Homo-oligomer: A and B are copies of this chain.
Amino acid sequence: MVTVSDAEHIIQQQVSAYGVEQVPFEQALGRVLAQDLRTDRPLPPYDRVTMDGIAFRFCDFARGTRTFQIMGTQAAGDAPLEITQENACMEIMTGAALPASVDTVVRYEDLEIENGVATVLVEQVRKGQNVHRQGQDKQQNEVVALANQLVTPALVGMAAAVGATELPVKKLPKVVVISTGDELVEVHQTPAPFQIRRSNSYLVKAALQAYQVEPDLLHLPDDLATTKDQLQRCLAQYEVILLSGGISMGKFDYVPQVLEELQVQKLFQKVRQKPGKPFWFGRHGNGALVFALPGNPVSTFLCLNRYFLPWLHASVGLPTKQEVFAALATDFRFPPDLTYFLQVRLQYSDQGQLLATPLEGNGSGDFSNLVEADAFLELPQERDRFEKGEVLRVWPFKTIW
């Protein structure tokens, strides 16, 4: 039996890397960028007009000129017009490339235009105004997004802007999610009075979808030979095996025995925690990792969030996950010498502080609570009593809308 922090440490020592692949930029959302993204041109790529109006030479204005002959109109996307005479201007639109022969833009709101002549109505005109200078945000070949970050909508937009039709992203491990237990039937089936439906695999699969991981699903009956055959095949075919169930003291809990027969080195068995105490973790010689999680859905989900997802996070090269803390909204007692993961609802106080309200229901095993909970609050093993207002680490698992 190991502590929560031992378990975390042992798992983090098994952080791997799965290589890099190119994907179309439109499909990269939620993946991890594998190389720095750089500009192909300066940003902006030209002196970009930021207001609709007229463009002229500031030296004309400085000499006292207030009426300018309009020589033409340059829309965004037009090749630059040029001014070749004094006291002349062009009408010019937001987004257009400022021609080299002019340097200053006055917006329509500050003009009067009649008979092809524009009159400037304001005295405060600054040389270069209303122009976003070439390269002002970024130079050519400058980094606009560092490697090892999540591809966000803004990064997708930036990829489009710099012409990166494909993005190099970290490969994700090949994962199989395996359920065990002869009491389980398929979701569309009507269970006998002593059976239940298979739900854990779908819970895990859905949780992995947020990370773009698309696991295969497999169900194993409580049969030694089948369990061994199938686990052997999976160890060769997948980089990660996420098992649920079959790891307790039961006569048909073949999983630990079979894994050891298949040369999976046990790195720990049992964690000093509730829920999720029977958690078994090991590594095959070929590098495949086995996270054998307890079969109770709440235990499965806790171990997934507390151990597997941080491992995945590190294995795709993301920087250490930011720790999240919340203040306990009510007193809470938990006497056993275990770390307790309390299901909580989270909300922000108007001071921007996260508050965690316990959702106890029927204790740590109550799956129906999990639908209402936002996070697990981690109550350290060393203590029994936790007081209202205390700030503790929290593991949020809900997508934020």
Contact = CB atoms under 8 A, between A and B. Distances in A.
Contact of A75 (B25, B80, B182): B182
Interface in A146-201: 150, 152-163, 165, 181-184, 187-200
A152 B207 CA distance: 8
A350 interface: yes
Contacts of A181: 76-77, 95
Contacts of A348: 322-325, 354
Contact of A154 (B107, B155, B370): B370
Interface string A366-392: 111011010000000000000000010
Contact of A163 (B187, B200, B211, B370): B187
A108 B250 CA distance: 9
A95 B348 CA distance: 39
Given A25-B187, A96-B183, A253-B52, A153 B194 contact: no
A94 B158 contact: no
B153 A207 contact: yes
Interface centre among A25, A199, A397 (most CB of B within 10 A): A199
A79 B367 contact: no
A347 B253 CA distance: 44
Contact of A160 (B80, B162, B202, B362): B202
Nearest to A134: B193
A109 interface: yes
A75 B252 contact: yes
A109 B29 contact: no
Interface string A46-59: 10001111000000
Counting every copy of the chain, the complex holds 2
A77 to B, nearest CB: 3
B138 A46 contact: no
Contacts of A41: 191
A239 interface: no
A280 interface: no
A399 B30 contact: yes
A52 B154 contact: no
A401 B313 contact: yes
A267 interface: no
B97 A193 contact: yes
A232 to B, nearest CB: 23
Interface centre among A95, A187, A209, A394 (most CB of B within 10 A): A95
Contacts of A394: 352
Given A52-B251, A181-B76, A43 B199 contact: no
A258 interface: no
Given A93-B250, A202-B157, A206-B157, A77 B137 contact: no
Contacts of A370: 154, 157-158
Nearest to A45: B196
Contact of A327 (B30, B107, B245, B352): B352
A193 B45 contact: yes
Nearest to A44: B196
10 smallest A-B Cβ distances: which pairs? Answer: A157-B203, A77-B182, A77-B183, A97-B194, A153-B206, A160-B199, A76-B183, A325-B352, A52-B250, A161-B199
